[in-house]
Amino acid sequence: MSESTLLEIAYKAADDKRAEDIVVLNMKGVSLLADYFVICHANSDRQVQAIAKEMADQASKSGYDVKRLEGFDSARWVLVDMGDVVAHVFHKDERAFYNLERLWGDAPIIEVESQA
Convert the pLDDT of each residue in 1-25 to its tens digit. Answer: 566 799 999 999 999 999 999 999 9
Tell me the DSSP string of the chain.
Answer: --HHHHHHHHHHHHHHTT-EEEEEEE-TTT-SS-SEEEEEEESSHHHHHHHHHHHHHHHHHTT----EEESTTT-SEEEEE-SSEEEEEEEHHHHHHH-HHHHTTTSPEE--PPP-
Convert the pLDDT of each residue in 21-57 to its tens digit. Answer: 999 999 998 988 899 999 999 999 999 999 999 999 9
CATH code: domain 3-110 is: 3.30.460.10
Convert the pLDDT of each residue in 71-114 to its tens digit. Answer: 999 999 999 999 999 999 999 989 999 999 888 888 889 988 75
What are the structural domain ranges in the chain?
3-110
